[in-house]
Structure 1
Amino acid sequence: MGDFKKISPIEAAHLFINKYFPNCQGAVLAGSVVRGEGTDTSDLDIVVFDKSLNSSYRESFNEFGWPIEVFIHNLTSYKHFFELDYKAAKPSMQRMVWEGIILKDKGIIQSIKLEAKEILDKGPDRWTEEIITTKRYFITDVLDDFIGCKNRAEEIFIANTLAELIHEFVLRTNGQWIGSSKWIIRALKNYDEKFTEEFVDAFDTYYKTAEKKKVIHLSEMILEPYGGRLFEGFSMGKAK
């Protein structure tokens, strides 16, 4: 990482922008270090806006004592990523921009931040009854696999899939953003801390002891308000 000791994230981010993007119109520092959730392995996430670019790209660096991941956009390309993240119900780009600490601004950052905030406040599109029915079927199918499986190695990865499906179902049926990896737990906590504790406890118990009861109960509990498990009679793609 060169000859630099690990300086503060904001100082490192300013030095980085001055070195690599001195003519950009704006830049923000985002990610875990901004939220006070940084760890020894955290990197710096920096979003750059440069009107001279034809298209967006991302690039990784080791500079000023920090691993740095930079997301570079012109003054319109970021809108495409806002739309992609909105459709996926995982607004990572919007969060980076809204939460980001301004490193440089030639009069464009505040309006982009407000765009991001408007999307975050709106939330994802509500699931239709058809989507909810389909998701009930998929959860039921994976749950049945989980209950019947006798192979520990296979069971572990069925449980992983079930955890993702449960988190998605609970959040999307309640009009909330979802996550992936560590953001699964963060998204759940943002919605309902008590449920998150039950969710973590159920899967933690299973992974430690191979006891399935809590995971089964959790799965059935979240499906119950929408009609419970679904298998017989489900159809998808059949011509009417």
Structure 2
Amino acid sequence: MRTDRLSPMKAAQLFVDAFFPQCSGALLAGSTVRGEETEKSDLDIVIFDQNRCSSYRESLIAYEWPVEVFVHSLESYRAFFKSDVERARPSLPRMVSEGKIISGWDVVMPIKAEADHVLNRGPENWSDDTTQMKRYFLTDTLEDFIGSDNRSETLCITYTLADQISEFVLRTNRRWVGSSKWVIRALKEYDPEFATRYSDAFDHFYTYGSKDRVVHLTDEVLEPFGGRLFDGFVLGEK
């Protein structure tokens, strides 16, 4: 870890003072506040500005740190909260909830309370129709995975299958989903034991080419909902 640059909080404070001195409030979020900082970590800084009417995001280098700045008005962030709930990926609520306040405590604390409420409430339940549809498409991808004998194609199918399994498990349990590194993080938060079996199954396939563990895991996920679904599935009006 680099020791020749300012600490994350000090750099964030200087950044806000220099670039957003009139903002209503600001906070530092991301890996640097979660204790997960790496050599490639950046500073995720959320700005709230009562003088703005809309939101924007900008990437830049400041104080030897890569900075991702997310600028919101005192109203525009709510549209992002709503969108994140609808897609079940609470990016902004999580940033606000876990963030360390840089300035504007009286403004930021109520917004953090809103973020906490969103996170604690969780995403909306899937309807029965959505669950059936997702079960069908997960079955379809599993069958493609089993039947594929082309290594390059199978690798692409495997990526889709891994994403569908994680989504199905999390959403049927009314839990937030994630993308990229947040997939495994979301699974660990839900069920550490399942997350281990999930990663082990795909690691076994990538290492040895054996599909058995992935197939077993997928069938285990589908079993409480009736198993694989093909015969009789209808999408749209007949």
Q: For 1:76, what is the secondary structure of its paired residue?
A: coil
Partner of 1:162: 161
Instruction: Determine the structure 2 residue equivalent to 1:226.
Output: 225
Match of 1:132 in 2: 131
| Equivalent position amino acid for 1:146 in 2 | F
Number of the residue aligned with 1:55: 54
Question: After the TM superposition, which segments of 4 or more aligned residues of structure 1 sit over 2 Å from their partners?
Answer: none
CA–CA distance in structure 1, aligned partners of residues 16 and 98 of structure 2:
18
Question: Tell me, which stretches of 5 or more residues in structure 2 are unaligned?
Answer: none
Which AA in structure 2 matches 1:214? Answer: R
CA distances 1:80-133 after superposition (whole Å, capped 9, x unpaired)? 000000000000100100100000016211110000000100000011111111
Gaps of 5+ in 1: none
Using the TM superposition, give the Cα deviation of residue 65 of structure 1 relative to its aligned residue in structure 2, in angstroms. 1.2
Structure 1 SS opposite 2:106: coil
1:67 to partner: Cα distance = 0.2
- Which amino acid in the other structure matches residue 8 of structure 2? P
CA distance in 2, matches of 1:92, 1:193: 21
SS at match of 1:45: strand
Q: Which residue of 2 aligns with 1:24?
A: 23
| Residues 1:6 and 2:5 are matched in the alignment | yes
**Which residue of 2 is the match for residue 79 of structure 1?**
78
Q: Tell me the amino acid that sits aligned with residue 111 of structure 2.
A: I
Distance in 1, Cα, partners of 2:43 & 2:151: 38
Whole-Å separation in 2 of the counterparts to 1:6 and 1:181? 28
Supply the distance in 1 between the matched residues of 2:101 and 2:10 (Cα, whole angstroms): 12
The C-alpha deviation readout for 1:142-171, integer Å capped at 9, x for no partner, is 000000001000101100100000000001
Letter of the aligned partner of 1:181 in structure 2? S
1:223 counterpart letter in structure 2: L
* TM-score for the superposition, normalised by structure 2: 0.97
Determine helix, strand or coil for the equivalent of 1:107. Answer: helix
Contact persistence 1:95–1:116 (CA under 8 A) = yes
Structure 1 length as normaliser, TM-score? 0.97
Match of 1:141 in 2: 140
Instruction: Give the whole-Å Cα distance in 2 for the aligned partners of 1:128 and 1:49.
Output: 35
1:167-182 aligned within 5 A:
167-182=166-181
Of residues 172-181 and 99-108 in structure 1, the stretch that sits farther from structure 2 once superposed is 99-108
**Distance in 1, Cα, partners of 2:136 & 2:115:** 34
Specify the code of the residue in structure 2 equivalent to 1:206: F
Q: Please give the secondary structure, in 2, of the residue aligned with 1:108.
A: helix
Q: 3-state DSSP class of the match of 2:134?
A: helix
| Matched pairs, number | 236
